[in-house]
Structure 1
Amino acid sequence: MITLRNANDRGHANFGWLDSYHTFSFGSYYDPAHMGFSHLRVINDDTVAPSAGFDTHGHRDMEIISLVTQGRIAHKDSVGNIKELPKGEYQLMSAGAGIYHSEFNAKDDETLKFLQIWIQPNKQGGKPGYQQKAFGEDAGITPIITPTGEHGTLAIKQDMQLMQVILEKGQTETVNANSERRYYVHQIEGELTLNNGTTLRPGDGAMIQSEDTLTLQNDQEQRVKAILFDLV
Structure 2
Amino acid sequence: MKTIFHPASERGFASRGWLKSYHSFSFSQYYDENKMNFGLLRVLNDDFVEKGMGFGTHGHDNMEIVSIPLSGALKHNDSTGREKIINQGDVQIMSAGSGIQHSEINNSKTDPVKFLQIWIIPKEQNIEPRYEQKTFSEEDKKNKFLTVVSPEKNGKSIWINQDAYFSMANLDKGKEIIYDLRDKAHGVYVFVLEGEIEVADKNLKDRDAVGIYEIDKLNILAKADTKVLLIEVPMG
Q: Which TM-score tier does this pair reach, normalised by the shorter chain? A: over 0.9
**Paired residue total:** 229
Letter aligned with residue 215 of structure 2: E
Secondary structure of the 1:184 match is strand
Secondary structure of the 1:230 match is strand
Counterpart in 2 of 1:98?
99
Secondary structure of the 1:114 match is strand
Secondary structure of the 1:107 match is coil
Letter aligned with residue 124 of structure 2: K
Letter aligned with residue 227 of structure 2: K
Matches for 1:216-231 after TM superposition, within 5 Å: 216-220=220-224, 223-231=225-233
1:125: Cα distance to partner? 0.7
Whole-angstrom CA distance in 2 between matches of 1:158 and 1:52? 31
Q: 1:151 to 1:75 in 2, by over 3 A?
A: closer
Counterpart in 2 of 1:193?
198
> What TM-score results when the alignment is normalised by the length of structure 1?
0.95
Pick one of 175, 179, 188 that aligns with 1:183.
188
> What TM-score results when the alignment is normalised by the length of structure 2?
0.93
Secondary structure of the 1:136 match is coil
Counterpart in 2 of 1:167?
171
**2:209 is equivalent to residue 208 of structure 1:** no
Matches for 1:63-212 after TM superposition, within 5 Å: 63-138=64-139, 139=142, 140-177=144-181, 178-194=183-199, 196-212=200-216
1:210: Cα distance to partner? 1.5
1:123: Cα distance to partner? 0.6
1:72: Cα distance to partner? 0.5
Whole-angstrom CA distance in 2 between matches of 1:80 and 1:150? 26
Gaps of 5+ in 2: none
Q: Percent identity?
A: 38
The range that moved more, 176-185 or 59-68, is: 176-185
Letter aligned with residue 188 of structure 1: L
Whole-angstrom CA distance in 2 between matches of 1:151 and 1:75? 22
Q: Which runs of 4+ in 1 moved over 4 A?
A: none
Whole-angstrom CA distance in 1 between matches of 2:208 and 2:81? 36
Computed over aligned residues only, the root mean square deviation of the Cα atoms, in angstroms, reads: 1.2
1:159: Cα distance to partner? 1.1
Gaps of 5+ in 1: none
Whole-angstrom CA distance in 2 between matches of 1:180 and 1:59? 28
Letter aligned with residue 146 of structure 1: S
1:179: Cα distance to partner? 4.1
Whole-angstrom CA distance in 1 between matches of 2:74 and 2:205? 25
